[in-house]
Amino acid sequence: MLLLLLISSAFLLPWAGAGRIIGGKEVVPHSRPHMAFLKIKFVNQSGIHTSRCGGFLIRPDTMLSAAHCVAKRRIVNITVTLGAHNISVREQSQQRIPAARWVIHPKYSPVGYINDIVLLNLKTKAKINKNVKQIAFSGSNEGVTVGTKCRVAGWGRTAVEGRGSDVLMEVELKVQNDEPCKQLFHNYLRHSMMCVGDKNGKKTTYEGDSGGPFVCNQKAYGIVSRGVGTKPFPKVFTRISYFEPWIREQLRKFALQELPGSPSSD
């Protein structure tokens, strides 16, 4: 009996994870303390809806995400959860803070997801601790070479027909050259977007992962932006380095409005 159990579990184990992300795995809880979970309440003709996205903390009161996450007609409110692992539980480590305001890139276009970036300012500063930390982002002259493997995490769907994940999942994806994206997306712009993915199509980001950071050497270089239908490869991410001057300008404005004369932290 015991042997039978052992044998069957040995066969079952490899499948235990089969329904999970598209090729990713659960992260060690709280090992990605910059990750934020966004719950976006919005209204349309059929009533109130909730959508979810990822984001990441770059200052104790400021986050980055994808513009398409919030560029909905009428937003009721946005709640940001920091320090989370399982978002279905109210973990002690979690800090839930409403977004006070957000600035969508002035040239964002939903057609082609051009300039798909938004800065969100939180109502109160997050408490920085081992579960909640900011992450650095790439400067305007920092590139990442084709072939580099970077990581992207999210609470998005773990299967094409699945639901969002309770726990934070992560995949490693490679920076690609621009060709596969140019072919698939006629609005692809190489200066402000990056082409990313796993050529075998076994690993990918999916619905609900939008807005999360693409992290190479502990720095955010991209923001999960778009794909085509259920196609796992390639994906287009927002190239943060292109937007660095705009991000810095917004940060200065936030600082001026709220905390005149306060030192900026890095």
Ligand X SMILES: *[C@@H]1O[C@H](CO)[C@@H](O)[C@H](O)[C@H]1NC(C)=O
Q: Which residues bind ligand X (CB under 6 A)?
A: 41, 76-77, 79, 86, 88-89, 98, 166-167
As measured in angstroms, the least distance from the Cβ of 121 to ligand X is 14
* Cα Dmax for the chain: 72
**Residue type, position 51, single letter:** S
Q: Which position among 192, 210, 225, 241 bears the catalytic label? A: 210
Q: Which position among 61, 116, 198, 209 bears the catalytic label? A: 116
As measured in angstroms, the least distance from the Cβ of 18 to ligand X is 14
Q: Would residue 210 show up in a list of annotated catalytic residues for this protein?
A: yes
User: Exposed, middle or buried, 83 (CB in 10 Å: 0-12/13-18/19+)?
Assistant: buried
As measured in angstroms, the least distance from the Cβ of 130 to ligand X is 21
Residue 109, Cβ neighbours under 10 Å: how many? 14
| Closer residue to ligand X, CB minimum distance, 27 or 189 | 27
Q: Which position among 34, 68, 85, 105 bears the catalytic label? A: 68
Q: CA–CA distance from 24 to each of 27, 68, 151, 211, 229 (Å)? A: 9, 24, 10, 17, 19
- What is the DSSP secondary-structure string of 89-133? S--TT-EEEEEEEEEE-TT-BTTTTBT--EEEEESSPPPPBTTB-
174 Cβ partners below 8 Å, 6+ apart?
147, 148, 149, 150, 196, 197, 198, 199
| Dist CA 45 CA 25 (whole Å) | 37
As measured in angstroms, the least distance from the Cβ of 198 to ligand X is 23
| Closer residue to ligand X, CB minimum distance, 50 or 129 | 50
| Closer residue to ligand X, CB minimum distance, 35 or 216 | 35
| Dist CA 95 CA 109 (whole Å) | 32
As measured in angstroms, the least distance from the Cβ of 87 to ligand X is 8
| Closer residue to ligand X, CB minimum distance, 100 or 135 | 100
| Closer residue to ligand X, CB minimum distance, 88 or 264 | 88
Positions annotated as catalytic residues are 68, 116, 210
